[in-house]
Structure 1
Amino acid sequence: MKTIFICLITFSLSATVNAQIINPKRLFEKKANQAIEKKVDETLNNKSKKEETSKDKELPKEAEKVNPSQAALPSLQTYSRFDFIPGEKVIFFDDFTQDNIGDFPALWNTNGSAEIVTTNLFPGRWMKFASRNAIWTDGLLKLPDNYTLEFDVIPIKSEEGRMAGYNFRLLQSINAKSYDHGSVPGKAGFLFSCEYYGRTGYRTYINDAEGADLGLSGYKDGQQFYQVENYKYHISIWVQKARLRLYQDANKLFDLPKAFPLTDVRFDRIRFENGAAMVSNIRIAVGTPDMRNKLITEGKLVSYGIYFDVNKDVVKPESYGTLKEIASVLNENPTFKIKIVGHTDGDGADAANLDLSKRRAAAVKTEIVRIFSIDSVRIETDGQGESQPVAPNDSPSNKALNRRVEFVKL
């Protein structure tokens, strides 16, 4: 009997889909943004295999094993659809540099415990908690109608030995000096939650008769949006009166046009609770920066929307929205020239701060030229170190005001 062997070969195909964002506000702005998006897409499509391999070598191990596509280190290019621009003036900031390692942070309160730690994977200091309790801002915050709120978060293992998820809450408190308990604490609240398996969701509520039926809730499905253990996420929240938008890294997870339709809802506290995570770089800022007017009319723009790690000169990817606006101004005004000036806070040696500020200004120029194809001869750079403070270097929030990048019309 003759035996016949049949070999089957399976082919796989892949496709790349490119999205385009068109800003219809004005003709010039539309053309500028189209040009920018085209250059960004070209950059994305021509990224070398060498660059990708280099990124893979630096992956946090847990993130690499759980979800390789999510674990790729972020870059400015990966934020090419990110339209978040932080507020113009910082009103609250905490990176825990004023706290000792192992201590509970000075600006916070708790009905449980937390401590300041460092990690070999991520620079800076982090507030670590792993319990079913809560940690909240000790003093009440005075938040206006419009503001932005950002923080970095790393989900970690709980005492049970597995990822526990966590909750973040914006709260209108009842008890100014103590803990508001319950599943819907305070007068009103916004809850952002990460479940133990990584899915994120939200809930809004107003605890009075008028707001009883106005609560909202939902989830962000899709494995690509799930958080994984030991991976850092940048959360950005943009509040404009009743509207609330929330971003996770480069992705807009939720856009709630009528999150809080009652005008008497005014949040005054933030808190982390019910899980295990490390958080840092908590920043609240107010005022929507009018970059075009300030650069063209006033001749100077002070920006707090360009981020660096401590003592580093590498521009962080969440700076993309701000850089894109600057590039749009330069594209709309082809004869326009600027000087980028870096400033630091007063921590560290004067000479080191001066050198750091110059390197940071040069790094900003490099990214604007590289990503948005602005002619380099139109941009000069300089650094002033800690020599021109705009606030005393006596608190995390004031130090954050001194760490800035200025754009000056030439």
Structure 2
Amino acid sequence: MKILKTIFITITALLFSSQSHAQFFKNLADKAANAASRTVERKVEEKSEKTTSDASDQVLNPKIKKSKNKETNDNEVVEESKSKKDKSGKSDKKTKEVKSAKDFVPGNKVLVYEDFSQDAIGDFPVNWLTNSSGEVVEISGTPQRWLKLSNKGAFTITDVKQLPENFTLEFEVYINPGSFSFYSSFLNIGFIESKKKNDYSKWDEYSNGSEGIIMRISPTVADAYKEGTLGHSGVKVFSEGEKILENELDTPSFNYTNNNQVKVQIWRQKNRLRMYIGGQKIWDLPNAFQQVKYNNVMFYIHDYNNEEDKYYISNFRLAEATGDTRHKLLETGTFSTNEILFDSGKASIKPSSIKVIDEIGNVLKVNPKIKISITGHTDSDGDDKKNLELSKLRAMAVKTELVRKFELNEDNIQVIGKGETQPISKNMTEEGKKLNRRVEFNVIK
């Protein structure tokens, strides 16, 4: 009996247990199905949201795309590069090279050269005129002397008698770094017609003469955000007292921060005018010079802003631009020039002479068998014997430079000194003396 009761209880427990397990597993299956359904729903919702978000981004900003090169979060976007880049990060977009000729060619016949070496420090130079003041100074760190231009004044060099139809003017400008502002004066350079000795003084910021071209440079600009990085340049052309041309522009080649010493070069070819600042061509005007006999070069200052605002000029070189006469040495057997300049009373060659020496050297280098003589001449100032010796030393200095620079055979070059014995002009005027201070090259047959 007990056994039957035990069997009954066991079967009953098993039945209830089977039902419980079945219900349990059924419940689990239902939960799993519901969870899977909810997961699918969430994924569909997320996908839908993402698609909608991407579509919105593309409408609002078509340049935004999902990155294909790296994994991103669902909401991460990467801006598409405007140009393809290589592995180094550099753009592979090909930039076309723009070539601009640096075409300035200095004149070969020196008319006036001024470096103030013969003037006393603190004096106004003897070969200049002004309606204001100025003085010759030395600036530490520079080898040459400078003319400091004073406030509110015009300045001109007396050696200029006539400006040729083809000429070049070169000079250096220095300013104190960091001292200028928009309120400081331009440095004005003028080519004018003067009928009277003091006509240069008619030109200033608010008045002008009849015929003239005014080129302007400044190391600063009107824009306060660009001051110190840009300079400014301008041009004015006057004819019969009326202004017929005017323009201005900014330039980085002269500014008071990092370009406070600069070379200015101006080139006239009949009516055409080019101006270069720091080797950069700023102006190229095809009809600047009028049918006028320009005969004066002058500078003028309007008003400095403070005591530190000063312009200094040096190495003033005016030269006529003629044809290449160096080949006359080959064609006629002789060539004479007064373009090779020396320090006063010395045989040291001035830097401005390098161009003509280089041209002679190039002729000799391509014709290595030619034998030549170099003859030095002086004016009549000073002692005869000393001038004779000085002329020979100067001829020797030219030979030494040619041999050194062009590796010429020194045995093919003979040196002669004639001193003041063979003048080609009267020694009564400074112009005549300048013509007599010359160097001759002759082919030895």
Please name the residue that 1:272 is paired with.
299
Q: 1:386–1:140: structure 2 CA closer, same or farther, 3 Å change rule? A: closer
Contact 2:274 2:283 (8 Å CA) reproduced: yes
Please name the residue that 1:260 is paired with.
287
Q: C-alpha displacement at 1:391, in angstroms?
A: 2.9
Equivalent AA in structure 2 for residue 109 of structure 1: L
Q: 1:98–1:320: structure 2 CA closer, same or farther, 3 Å change rule? A: closer
Greater relative contact order (Cα < 8 A, sep 6+): 1
Counterpart CA distance in 1 for 2:284 and 2:376 is 36
2:224 is aligned with 1:203: no
Q: C-alpha displacement at 1:145, in angstroms?
A: 0.9
Once the two structures are superposed, residues 81-137 of structure 1 have per-residue CA deviations (whole angstroms, 9 ceiling, x without a partner) of: 9974434263x5556688777654455432311245678877887544332322124
Contact 2:384 2:420 (8 Å CA) reproduced: yes
Please name the residue that 1:132 is paired with.
152
Please name the residue that 2:39 is paired with.
none
Please name the residue that 1:182 is paired with.
205
Counterpart CA distance in 1 for 2:385 and 2:230 is 46
Counterpart CA distance in 1 for 2:407 and 2:251 is 35
2:265 is aligned with 1:241: no
Q: What is the count of residue pairs matched by the alignment?
A: 325
Q: Which runs of 5+ in 1 are unaligned?
A: 1-22, 24-80
Please name the residue that 2:96 is paired with.
none
Please name the residue that 2:95 is paired with.
none
- Which of 349, 367, 382 matches 1:348? 382
Contact 1:244 1:255 (8 Å CA) reproduced: no
Please name the residue that 1:362 is paired with.
396
2:196 is aligned with 1:169: no
Contact 1:242 1:257 (8 Å CA) reproduced: no
Q: 1:262–1:247: structure 2 CA closer, same or farther, 3 Å change rule? A: closer
* Identical-pair percentage: 32
Alignment of 1:18-57 (within 5 A): none
Once the two structures are superposed, residues 270-326 of structure 1 have per-residue CA deviations (whole angstroms, 9 ceiling, x without a partner) of: 222326344455443335153344211222212233333333433333333222221
Quick check: 123-132 or 335-344, which moved more?
A: 123-132
- Which of 107, 110, 125 matches 1:86? 107
Once the two structures are superposed, residues 123-154 of structure 1 have per-residue CA deviations (whole angstroms, 9 ceiling, x without a partner) of: 88754433232212469842221123344555
Structure 2 residue matching 1:207: 3-state secondary structure:
strand
Please name the residue that 1:71 is paired with.
none
TM-score of the superposed pair, with normalisation by structure 1: 0.62
Contact 2:425 2:435 (8 Å CA) reproduced: yes
Q: C-alpha displacement at 1:263, in angstroms?
A: 3.8
Counterpart CA distance in 2 for 1:123 and 1:397 is 27
Q: 1:205–1:257: structure 2 CA closer, same or farther, 3 Å change rule? A: same
Q: Which runs of 5+ in 2 are unaligned?
A: 1-100, 221-227, 302-308
Counterpart CA distance in 1 for 2:133 and 2:432 is 27
- Which of 126, 139, 142 matches 2:162? 142
Question: What's the C-alpha RMSD, in Å, of the aligned pairs?
Answer: 4.4
2:411 is aligned with 1:380: no
Please name the residue that 1:323 is paired with.
357
Contact 1:82 1:320 (8 Å CA) reproduced: no
Structure 2 residue matching 1:131: 3-state secondary structure:
coil
Structure 1 residue matching 2:151: 3-state secondary structure:
strand
Contact 2:218 2:254 (8 Å CA) reproduced: no
Counterpart CA distance in 2 for 1:154 and 1:392 is 38
Please name the residue that 1:291 is paired with.
325
- Which of 323, 329, 332 matches 2:366? 332
Structure 1 residue matching 2:386: 3-state secondary structure:
helix
Please name the residue that 1:309 is paired with.
343
Structure 1 residue matching 2:279: 3-state secondary structure:
strand
Structure 1 residue matching 2:234: 3-state secondary structure:
strand
Q: 1:116–1:213: structure 2 CA closer, same or farther, 3 Å change rule? A: closer
